[in-house]
């Protein structure tokens, strides 16, 4: 095992899919390289169809790259990996399970006792401030609470890295702000290494330490922007800061969004 | 511009300060929506005919309709000189029912029909669900067998009854097998369909948590298929009674279906009607049992969505 400073390394990763016609290949991402260091919060932004979610599937081990390497703590990813937690726009809570049992779900493939599992689930619910809803069913919770429950489930497996794929995009604007803050606090207080995939430029600016900008398909990383702002644990403070606007403007320019609108 | 943003942050900031409270306020918009939905209804209700009727008036209306129907049945055919061997009156049916109970071993026939219906329903459901899960787990088996399954599904199962009688004789087996066969397919199809439409992201989530195939099956696919299975069982419950009736009509010397042919042979119209009524009641009870089970199993689905 190689000693490494990064939690996650992507080294010249290319992923091609066979097009629906079965012959031609479609390159989703091409020679993508980046790393995520311990405790860092990295955001990936890019136009739709740029392969953001492909990156997530590759890192989660649900899919294999055609070229290049992906390493978690220096170990190559060859399949689903218990040290990766991921969250999607959909909360993916099992409607037939109570919230506490949903949080336990990720631990059920592991050799730990029922009591330990329950204790961990309750601890995560505490951390995500949902302890009062442990015995509720998902349908009894609001969208924002359901996403927090999903975060609790993700954190319960004590992942080395958390992958967030547009986790706030299905929420209304205010719930989104509250939830961004809630997530940021939880993530910062436990120094959780996080990779956020989003199309929301402001979200990338207010939540992350570093932003990777991807091009249109085939997705490549065209720019890397360190976010030099205070208050990573409080997106609401960042959103009010004038400099956040500058970052967003920079991203707009980087993605050539003005040209496209014209 | 910037002051607007700040004030927005202040507002949400104070919300964020009390997380549990936030959660409750989160939940409240849903309730607000729900009550708003209810509150909107009176607008429609401005038309008097669309006013939501009370439970009592519904109950009285239903009972009243039934009573009028029975009275019409009792008095209209005799008034039109329709003989009772064509349409027996309600009192004829009651008398015939008492006679059947006393003289025709009615209880034995009812018990036989109920036993075969329940056994056939249970076995058909079990086999149908098992087959649905197996086909759902193996795309290969499903693709290989699907034309045959489609063919068997379209074939009128009750038409097999004479075959089973030729093979197995005049006993309970042909009836049971016909019942199993008619129950089997709707449940198979429903379960298979639900297995094919399980949310791929849920499966991926389980895979990401390093769950193996059988864990995914038991923890995701089986629970996710419950609404479809329950819908299949509802259909199966009504079909079970049809299956057993056809089995009894075609061959046999017990059961309500047999009493129908027996009554027909004697031109005893009242007996035929009574047997039909009893078969219907058996079907309703079976359906009710499934509905009860469904309410228990699917308790996690809000009632309005079910």
**Looking at beta carbons, which residues of chain A come within 8 Å of B205?**
86, 92
Distances (CA, A) of A18 to A28, A47, A67, A86, B46: 10, 21, 15, 25, 59
Best residue in A61, A105, A131 for a mutation probing chain B (most B CBs within 10 Å):
A105
Residue B157: per-residue pLDDT = 87
Yes or no, beta carbons of B219 and A61 under 8 Å apart: no
Which listed CATH number (3.50.30.40, 3.40.50.1820, 3.40.50.300, 3.40.190.10) goes with A8-83+161-261? 3.40.50.300
Cβ neighbors of A152 (< 8 A, separation 6 or more) are: A103, A121, A124, A125, A127, A128, A130
Distances (CA, A) of B99 to B34, B44, B89, B92, B273: 56, 53, 15, 10, 14
B100-126 per-position pLDDT tens digit:
999 989 999 999 999 999 999 999 999
DSSP at A106: G
Cβ neighbors of B257 (< 8 A, separation 6 or more) are: B113, B175, B244, B245, B246, B247, B248, B249, B275, B279
CB A164 within 8 A of CB A87: yes
Q: Are strands A194-198 and A221-226 parallel, antiparallel or unpaired?
A: unpaired
B164-221 per-position pLDDT tens digit:
999 998 888 999 999 999 999 999 999 999 999 999 999 989 988 889 999 999 999 9
Q: Which of B12, B29, B211 sits opposite A109 (nearest CB)?
A: B211
Residue B48: per-residue pLDDT = 52
Q: What is the C-alpha separation between A194 and A175, in angstroms, rounded?
A: 21
CB A19 within 8 A of CB A70: no
Establish if B19 touches chain A: CB-CB under 8 angstroms. yes
**Looking at beta carbons, which residues of chain A come within 8 Å of B212?**
109
Establish if B18 touches chain A: CB-CB under 8 angstroms. no
Nearest CA to A167 among A195, A128, A133, A188? A195
Radius of gyration of the CA atoms of chain B, in A: 28
Yes or no, beta carbons of B26 and A145 under 8 Å apart: yes
Q: Which of B16, B210, B215 sits opposite A181 (nearest CB)?
A: B16
Least confident of A112-126, A159-173, B24-38, B252-266: B24-38
Taken in order A123, A124, A128, A134, is the CA torsion positive or negative? negative
CB A208 within 8 A of CB A196: yes
Q: Hunting for tokens 């995500």 — which residue is that?
A: A128
For the cut 80, the answer to whether the pLDDT of residue B49 exceeds it is: no
pLDDT band at B233 (very low <50, low <70, confident <90, very high): very high
CB B120 within 8 A of CB B243: yes
Best residue in B1, B21, B26 for a mutation probing chain A (most A CBs within 10 Å):
B26
Domain ranges of chain A: 8-83+161-261, 91-158
Yes or no, beta carbons of A86 and B208 under 8 Å apart: yes
Percent of chain A with pLDDT over 70: 96
Establish if B210 touches chain A: CB-CB under 8 angstroms. yes
Percent of chain A with pLDDT over 90: 45
Yes or no, beta carbons of B212 and A109 under 8 Å apart: yes
Best residue in B198, B209, B210, B224 for a mutation probing chain A (most A CBs within 10 Å):
B209
Establish if B203 touches chain A: CB-CB under 8 angstroms. no
Of residues B26 and A126, more confidently modeled: A126
For the cut 90, the answer to whether the pLDDT of residue A254 exceeds it is: no
CB A159 within 8 A of CB A83: yes
Q: Are strands A41-45 and A194-198 parallel, antiparallel or unpaired?
A: parallel
Of residues B81 and B52, more confidently modeled: B81
pLDDT band at A260 (very low <50, low <70, confident <90, very high): low
- Which residues partner with A10 through β-bridges? A34, A70
User: Mean of the pLDDT values across residues B241-266?
Assistant: 92
Residue A67: its H or E element: strand A67-72
The torsion region of residue B61 among left (phi > 0), alpha (psi -120 to 50) and beta comes to alpha
Yes or no, beta carbons of A240 and B9 under 8 Å apart: yes
Query: Nearest CA to CA, how far is B6 from chain A (Å)?
Result: 6
For the cut 70, the answer to whether the pLDDT of residue B75 exceeds it is: yes
Q: What is the model's pTM?
A: 0.79
Query: Nearest CA to CA, how far is A54 from chain B (Å)?
Result: 13
The dihedrals phi and psi of A229, each to the nearest 5 degrees, come to: -130, 150
A80-108 per-position pLDDT tens digit:
888 888 888 889 999 999 999 999 999 99
């Amino acid at each position: 095992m190689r000693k490494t400073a990064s939690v996650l390394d992507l080294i010249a990763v290319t992923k091609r899919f066979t097009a629906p016609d079965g012959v031609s290949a479609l390159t989703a991402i091409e020679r993508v390289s980046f790393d995520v260091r311990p405790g860092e919060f990295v955001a990936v932004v890019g136009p739709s169809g740029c392969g953001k979610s492909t990156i997530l599937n590759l890192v989660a081990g649900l899919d294999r790259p055609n070229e290049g390497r992906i390493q978690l703590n220096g170990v190559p990813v060859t399949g689903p990996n218990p040290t990766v937690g991921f969250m999607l726009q959909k909360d993916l809570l099992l409607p037939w399970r109570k919230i506490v049992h949903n949080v336990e779900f990720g631990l059920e493939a592991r050799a730990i006792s029922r009591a330990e599992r329950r204790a961990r689930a309750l601890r995560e619910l505490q951390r995500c401030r949902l302890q009062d809803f442990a015995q509720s069913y998902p349908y009894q919770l609001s969208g924002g609470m359901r996403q927090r429950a999903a975060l609790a489930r993700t954190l319960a497996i004590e992942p080395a890295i958390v992958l967030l794929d547009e986790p706030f995009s299905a929420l209304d604007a205010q719930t989104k702000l509250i939830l961004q803050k809630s997530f940021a606090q939880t993530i910062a207080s436990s120094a959780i290494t996080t990779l956020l995939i989003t199309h929301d430029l402001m979200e990338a600016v207010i939540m992350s330490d570093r932003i990777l900008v991807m091009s249109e398909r085939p997705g490549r990383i065209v720019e890397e922007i360190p976010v030099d702002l205070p208050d990573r644990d409080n997106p609401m403070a960042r959103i009010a800061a004038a400099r956040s606007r500058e970052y967003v403007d920079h991203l707009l320019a980087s993605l050539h969004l003005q040209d496209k609108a014209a | 511009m910037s002051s607007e943003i700040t004030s927005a942050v202040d507002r949400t900031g104070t919300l964020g300060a009390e997380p549990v409270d936030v959660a409750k306020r989160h939940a409240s918009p849903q309730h607000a929506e729900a009550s708003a939905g209810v509150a909107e209804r009176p607008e429609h209700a401005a038309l008097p005919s669309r006013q939501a009727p009370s439970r009592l008036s519904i109950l009285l209306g239903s009972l009243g309709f039934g009573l009028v129907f029975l009275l019409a049945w009792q008095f209209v055919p005799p008034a039109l000189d329709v003989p009772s061997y064509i349409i027996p009156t309600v009192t004829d049916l009651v008398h015939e029912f008492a006679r059947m109970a006393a003289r025709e071993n009615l209880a034995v026939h009812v018990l036989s029909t109920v036993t075969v219906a329940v056994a056939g329903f249970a076995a058909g459901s079990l086999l149908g669900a098992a087959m649905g899960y197996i086909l759902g787990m193996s795309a290969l088996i499903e693709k290989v067998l699907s034309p045959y399954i489609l063919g068997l599904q379209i074939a009128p199962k009750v038409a097999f009854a004479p075959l089973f009688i030729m093979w197995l004789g005049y006993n309970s087996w042909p009836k049971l097998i016909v019942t199993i066969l008619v129950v089997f397919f709707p449940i198979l199809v429903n379960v298979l369909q639900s297995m094919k439409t399980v949310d791929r992201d849920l499966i991926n989530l389980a895979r990401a948590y390093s769950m193996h195939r059988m864990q995914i099956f038991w923890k995701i696919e089986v629970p996710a298929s419950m609404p479809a299975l329950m819908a299949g069982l509802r259909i199966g419950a009504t079909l079970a009674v049809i299956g057993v009736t056809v089995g009894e009509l075609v061959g046999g010397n017990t059961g309500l279906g047999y009493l129908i042919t027996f009554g027909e042979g004697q031109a005893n119209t009242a007996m035929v009607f009574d047997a039909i009524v009893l078969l219907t009641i058996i079907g309703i009870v079976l359906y009710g049992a499934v509905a009860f089970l469904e309410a228990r199993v699917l308790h996690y689905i809000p009632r309005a969505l079910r």
